[in-house]
Amino acid sequence: MMDYNFDELVERRGTSCVKHDMLKEVFGTQDVLPMWVADMDFKTPDFVVKAIKERCDHEVFGYTFAPPSYVCAVVNWFQSHYGIEAKWSKMHFIPGVVQGIAFVLQAFTQPGDHVLVTTPVYPPFLNVPHRSGRRFVSSSLKTVNGRFEIDYEDLEEKAKECKVMILANPHNPGGTVWTPEELRRVAEICYRRKVLVIADEIHADLTLPGHKHTSFTTVSEEAFHNSITFFAPSKTFNMAGLGSSVCYVPDPDIRRQFFNFLDANELSLGHLFAYVGAEAAFRYGEEWRLQLLQYLQGNVDFAIDYLKQHAPKVVAMRPEASFLLWLDFRAYGLPHEELVRIMIEEAKVGLNSGTDYGADGEGFMRLNIGCPRATLEEGLSRICQALQSR
């Protein structure tokens, strides 16, 4: 068994990578340690790289369909990990999850329709409806014992005016792994109110030790017959640049409507390296994933302890999944713009601003801890030093 080295520092600058090479555009300066956009600073696993190199050796990159070996690897992964009765006939290649969400909005809603989200939430859940002429309606999450909870009464009220709900399961930025009971209640409300649920499960494979991901469709008949679920290997295996997501649509009527939309818009074929990369990830990736989860758990513990010790007024939500830390700076009483300025100009760290996640994100920032521990320590030390005198 191989021991993977997540401590290795990899130079990513100069590869047109969003996280490291777009700092000037996003933060107004190159001089920040990038701890924002949600990919990791680890190498994409060797078995993914090897599969792509081997395919490159053939030297012809013509039109390519989803090969049976890819289909088999995808279906096996979702059956064995989440117990969904995944058959390829109920699944479909999707380049990216956010694109998939946009496709659902195009296929099932009209401009002016309302889209339900729970905030704070991953910014494209707000921007995609907005930019396509839909309107998002937000139900604020409550923080109970350091974990996000859904306000079901409010959700029910807001659902009345909505056609679609976009649910992050697990949640981003909170890292909340929703329980079967929580998902069942969402499914019940949405089914009764005729709100189609998009379950974005891109972070599912990154559920941290001690927690268990429940795939939305498995919780009830209401969930099964009223949802479109998206998965991807991109977060787990650090291959977001390969655009290789899938959707799973168990209900035959919803599936027909959605797959017809995809076919009509020529969105059915993936690209060659997406298939090759995803197949290798799902075929050979379990050991790598388990070691990654151990490392990420170590980073979570390290970051939370470090903040407690050096900046106890910062409250970190302990994630149950993934590599994102939602940090509450409200105890400093700073206007949000001043908090953002301090992080960029004084701490010199590039974090995601909380208000991008909805109005509930005022006073919060999101820290990406998917990096070698040394990088994490450097980022935390910069944050804590900038806050020291405040």
Ligand X SMILES: Cc1ncc(COP(=O)(O)O)c(C=O)c1O
Q: Does 168 bind ligand X (CB under 6 A)?
A: yes
Angle (deg, nearest 10), helices 68-82 and 272-284: 40
Nearer residue to ligand X within complex by CB, 234 or 238: 234
Candidates 202, 246, 276, 300; binder of ligand X (CB under 6 A) is: 202
- Which residues contact residue 132 at a Cβ distance below 8 angstroms, ignoring those fewer than 6 apart? 102, 105, 106, 111
Residue 215 interacting with ligand X (CB under 6 A): no
Name the nearest CA neighbour of 233 among 198, 284, 197.
284
- The distance of closest approach from Cβ of residue 238 to ligand X in the complex, given in angstroms and rounded to an integer, is 12
| Residue of 23, 33, 35, 38 interacting with ligand X (CB under 6 A) | 38
CA dihedral 292, 283, 249, 187 (to 10 degrees): -30
136/306 with CB nearer ligand X: 136
Least distance between ligand X and beta carbon 332 (Å): 27
- Nearest distance, CB of residue 37 and ligand X, angstroms: 7
Asked if residue 207 binds ligand X (CB under 6 A), the reply is no
Q: What's the sign of the alpha-carbon dihedral 257, 75, 190, 318? A: negative
The residue number whose beta carbon is nearest to ligand X equals 96
Q: Does 232 bind ligand X (CB under 6 A)?
A: yes
If one asks whether residue 281 binds ligand X (CB under 6 A), the answer comes out as no
Which residue number, 97 or 376, has a Cβ lying nearer to ligand X? 97
Q: Which of positions 301-340 make contact with ligand X (CB under 6 A)?
A: none
Q: Quick one: 241 or 348, whose CB is closer to ligand X?
A: 241
d(CA 169, CA 154): 19
CA distance 116 to 254: 18
Which of positions 348-377 make contact with ligand X (CB under 6 A)? none
What type of residue sits at position 287?
E
Q: Which residue among 240, 254, 300, 343 contacts ligand X (CB under 6 A)?
A: 240
> Minimum distance from CB of 154 to ligand X (Å)?
21
Query: How is residue 67 written in tokens?
Result: 């090969």
Kindly tell me which of 299 and 386 has the beta carbon lying closer to ligand X: 299
Nearer to ligand X, 262 or 384 (CB): 262
Q: How far apart are CA 149 and CA 176, in angstroms?
A: 9
| Residue placing its CB nearer to ligand X in the complex, 38 or 371 | 38
Question: Cβ 236 to ligand X, closest distance in Å?
Answer: 11
User: Per CB under 6 A, does 117 bind ligand X?
Assistant: no
Query: Chain-centre distance of CA 177, in angstroms?
Result: 12
Task: Say how far apart CA 276 and CA 146 lie, in whole Å.
Answer: 40
* Count of beta carbons in the 10 Å neighbourhood of residue 362: 16
Q: Is 200 in the site for ligand X (CB under 6 A)?
A: yes
Which of residues 96, 120, 175, 285 is near ligand X by CB under 6 A?
96
Does the protein bind ligand X through residue 126 (CB under 6 A)? no
The one-letter code for the residue type at 247 is C
Minimum distance, C-beta of residue 261 to ligand X, in the bound complex (Å): 18
Nearest one of 18, 17, 16, 20 to 30, comparing CA atoms: 20
Q: Does 205 bind ligand X (CB under 6 A)?
A: no
Q: Report the C-alpha gap between 379 and 43 in whole angstroms.
A: 20
- Give me Rg for the CA atoms of the chain: 21
Among 234, 238, 352, 355, binds ligand X (CB under 6 A): 234
Residues with Cβ within 8 Å of residue 108, at least 6 apart in sequence = 163, 164, 196, 257, 258
Number of residues that bind ligand X (CB under 6 A): 13
Classify residue 5 as exposed, middle or buried by CB count within 10 Å of its CB (0-12, 13-18, 19+): exposed
Distance CA 390, CA 385 (A): 10
98 lines the binding site for ligand X (CB under 6 A): yes
> In angstroms, what is the minimal distance from the CB of 99 to ligand X?
6
Q: Where along the sequence are the contacts to ligand X (CB under 6 A)?
A: 38, 96-98, 122, 168, 172, 200, 202, 232, 234, 240, 245
